[in-house]
């Protein structure tokens, strides 16, 4: 019986030590868990603060790459359109081809001619309501041309809004010459 009491005392001592160690371990585990949760919350807060910045940076990089690629594509598209415009035939060019087939099909080959100068356009608007009669303005301009014995090639002289006159010439140089002629007439008249 003495052995059983000794064994019982030993077991109670071990149980007390185990309970004490278990309490210490539970306390340490709770502290570690609390610290983990605190760290996780801190990391989550940090991530919430940093994520929009990271996302914006990623968007900026992606948009910059997309913008660069779009710019290159637009440049290539403009070049392709310019090339097509240079080689596209007008109806008058097709009609003037010597030996064109009678069934009016368009030949497959075309070499563009020398580039043409753009035509000149001069718009003249009256400054006052007194001079809003197109026919009088047209007659005045034609009279100025005859008076100066100019050999200006005018393709068209048409009506513009409010009694104005639209003068179309063969090239821009002639429209500038007409402008100078009309300005000099205006200066002489006043």
Please give the full DSSP string across 78-92, using - where no structure is assigned: HHHHHHHHHHPPPHH
**3-state DSSP assignment of residue 154:** strand
Structure tokens at 2: 């003495």
pLDDT at position 16, please?
87
Predicted local confidence at residue 155, as pLDDT: 84
**In the prediction, which pLDDT does 105 show?**
54
Is pTM beyond 0.85? Reply is no
pLDDT 10s digits, 141-186: 888 888 876 677 788 888 888 888 898 888 888 888 888 888 888 7
pLDDT exceeds 80 at position 140: yes
Rg (CA), the chain: 47
Position 91 scores a pLDDT of 66
The least confident of 10-24, 32-46, 51-65, 113-127 is: 113-127
Which letter does DSSP use for residue 182 in this model?
Answer: H
């Amino acid at each position: 019986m003495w052995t059983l009491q000794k064994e019982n005392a030993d077991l109670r001592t071990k149980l007390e030590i185990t309970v004490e160690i278990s309490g210490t371990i539970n306390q340490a585990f709770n502290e570690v868990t609390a610290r983990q949760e605190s760290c996780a919350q801190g990391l989550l807060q940090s991530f919430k603060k940093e994520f929009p910045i990271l996302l914006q940076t990623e968007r900026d990089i992606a948009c910059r790459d997309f913008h660069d690629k779009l710019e290159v594509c637009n440049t290539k598209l403009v070049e392709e359109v310019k090339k097509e415009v240079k080689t596209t035939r007008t109806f008058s060019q097709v009609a003037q081809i010597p030996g064109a087939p009678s069934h009016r099909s368009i030949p497959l080959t075309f070499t563009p001619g020398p580039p043409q100068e753009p035509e000149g356009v001069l718009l003249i608007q009256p400054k006052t309501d007194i001079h809003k009669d197109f026919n009088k303005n047209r007659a005045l301009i034609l009279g100025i041309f005859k008076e100066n014995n100019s050999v200006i090639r005018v393709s068209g002289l048409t009506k513009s809004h409010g009694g104005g006159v639209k003068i179309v010439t063969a090239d821009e140089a002639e429209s500038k010459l007409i402008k100078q002629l009309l300005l000099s007439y205006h200066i002489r008249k006043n």
